[in-house]
Amino acid sequence: MKQLHEFEIKKMLRLADEAREKAYVPYSGFHVGACLKTGSGAYYLGCNIENASYTPTNCAERTAMFKAVYEGERDFEAIAIISDGINYVAPCGVCRQVLAEFCPPDMPVICADRDGNYEVHELRELIPMAFTKKDIDDSK
């Protein structure tokens, strides 16, 4: 796993916390923020955005990723996620699949609680046996 300096982790968590404040969560009241760092050094922030029918709800991680991809980014170094919860928050299954599409398996995923305590995992730990482009290419 690429090593991140403590300073970088704290910076990303601060930015993710700022993004968390922008969450639109009238149904769950559960605010989540994410900070995605690219290889170019840019940071993309995202928050969760709920919808009354739930299925169209978008998570913070995907909001950050889709903003970055829209801007042309394709090289990602790390993501930090923070929530209102007392437990470390990790990406949901859909977000893990989206991260697996664009990020290297050894990318650090920083999972934090509401107080900024955190754990760092490699993406591959969170989605073992991920279905990726390689699986499609290998089937041809």
Q: Which residues are known to be catalytic?
A: 61
In terms of DSSP H, where are the helices of the chain?
Answer: 6-20, 60-70, 93-102, 123-126, 133-138
Q: Are 48 and 26 in contact (CB under 8 A)?
A: no
**DSSP code at position 87:** S
Residue located via tokens 């922008």:
22
Gyration radius from the chain CA atoms:
14
Give the DSSP H/E element, type plus range, for residue 80.
strand 76-83
Residue 72 amino acid letter: G
* Pairwise CA distance, residues 7 & 90, whole Å: 21
| 38: number of Cβ within 10 Å | 17
